[in-house]
Chain A
Amino acid sequence: MAQAITDKDGVKRYLITLNVNGDAHTVLVKGNAILTNVLRDQLDLTGTKKGCELGDCGSCTVLLDGKPVDSCLVLAVEADGRQITTIEGVAANGRLDEIQQSMINHAAVQCGYCTPGMVLSAKALLTRNPNPSEQEVREAISGNLCRCTGYVHIVEAVMATAQGRVTPDDH
């Protein structure tokens, strides 16, 4: 159980450590703090988006111990000590991951609001299943709603990544 600190008004806060994108962040959070908000407001990682806050849209997807979850349905205290990957952790040293490059190449990005969650869902799929079928790709991203693309180019981008067809400027 995380260490708890009570302020003069009797409000209890917990000292927790979130391992985000390889960095350990020790933060003080109230019990009711939602992981999405702690990432965005306390760690300034605003790539994790708020779309519905009820687990319906997938904009807030992060990888928790490698698995995609809706961070809007996770209390920050519940993520204490766990490994979290946000969209900011997908590109290594400023170099876009193949899935990110593929999303650009295939014009799979429009307004971009669903994109971080979409990238993380696709990344998690390709990590556990490097050769998915189109149906598996569609299922893996079915928790990420996109209002712009009809998913056509997104599915193409993920399939192209899986098939090793991503080049730096494939247009």
Chain B
Amino acid sequence: MYVPDFEYHAPNTVAEACAILAELGDRATVLAGGTDVLHKMKVGKLTPEHLVSLKNLDELREIREEPGRVVIGALASHNQIYNSRLLQRRYLSLPLAAHTMASNQICNLGTVGGNIVNGVPSADLPPILIALDASIRLTSARGERTLPLEDFFYGSAQTRIEPGEILTEISIPDQQTTGSTYMKFGLRRSGALAVAAAAVSVQVSGDTLHGVRIVLASAAPTVLRVTAAERSLIGRRIDDELLTEAGNFAAQASRPRDSIRGSAEYRKNLVGVLTKRALRKAIEEGHA
């Protein structure tokens, strides 16, 4: 296979990277782990004139705790997330989601930032991050802005990142949730894209749900938060019937299409099953 020619840039600071991107506009593509960008270039889906590599921006690899939040640098690899003691302690569901992503080799290369910016509905990290109410920071020569990750996606492979912007960090706020999980259904047990997936976070006290977020992957052209299903749960006593009902709401709200991984009908069914099971797991097992 063949990677088309391009001009290569490897800035040493975020500011330098922003300056280069400001100058090149949409002629440039940002290169992080490369597992998506180089793949697309090899199969002819992407032919950027310029590649701006972030490899020298080590400060974006850090995962740290700050007052009120946990901050994940956009260049943290999937395995870095999986192996992070901090994340394992605070939100184990996120490391476990990172682990379901792909093979070990890909998890060593691929980055959380790339997984988000790629914008595909089958990406594994955005659903659980949205369930954990994460926000992202976008940096450009014009400055910085922060927005909820939930608002970032608006179509298949379409996001609100603007030319010249770099996703620099993801932050998860301290929260009242008592549990979260990401449940993915693939057609084999490693290296499989989700046929459908559901991430949830819950706030349980006693036998009642006081808060819940339900976010689906591979269920619509974008990552999809299903607020109707969430509303159906709030304040209600937890039992199997309730969870099944929430699953049905999620299935109804989903808009999957027929694909080589499964028919729309099958995927809708999976959404319902996974939502129900994810809720049960988050309720029973906390952030796992």
Contact = CB atoms under 8 A, between A and B. Distances in A.
Interface of A: 1-2, 12, 14, 30-32, 34, 53-56, 58, 61, 64, 67-70, 73-75, 77-78, 121, 139-140, 142-144
Nearest to A74: B34
A144 to B, nearest CB: 8
Interface residues on chain B, size class: 20 to 34
Nearest to A140: B104
A88 B71 CA distance: 40
Contacts of B1: 53-54
B34 A139 contact: no
Interface string B37-73: 0110011000000010101100000000000000000
Nearest to A33: B3
A58 B103 contact: yes
Contacts of B151: none
B102 interface: yes
B5 A55 contact: no
Interface of B: 1, 3-10, 12, 31, 34-35, 38-39, 42-43, 51, 53, 55-56, 79, 102-106, 108-109, 189-191
Contacts of A56: 191
A109 B10 CA distance: 41
B3 A68 contact: no
Contact of B53 (A64, A67, A78, A121): A78
Contacts of B79: 67
Contact of B104 (A1, A12, A53, A142): A142
A139 B39 CA distance: 23
In this complex, which of A30, A77, A78, A140 has the most chain B Cβ atoms within 10 angstroms of its Cβ?
A78
Given A32-B6, A78-B34, A143-B102, A54 B42 contact: yes
A88 B173 CA distance: 47
A70 B190 contact: no
Given A68-B108, A73-B109, A1 B10 contact: yes
Given A74-B34, A142-B191, A55 B53 contact: no
Contacts of B56: 1
Nearest to B103: A143
Nearest to A65: B108
Contacts of A142: 103-104, 189-191
B190 A31 contact: no
A31 B4 CA distance: 10
Contacts of A2: 10
A74 B33 CA distance: 8
Nearest to B189: A142
Contacts of B189: 142
A57 B215 CA distance: 31
A31 B50 CA distance: 10
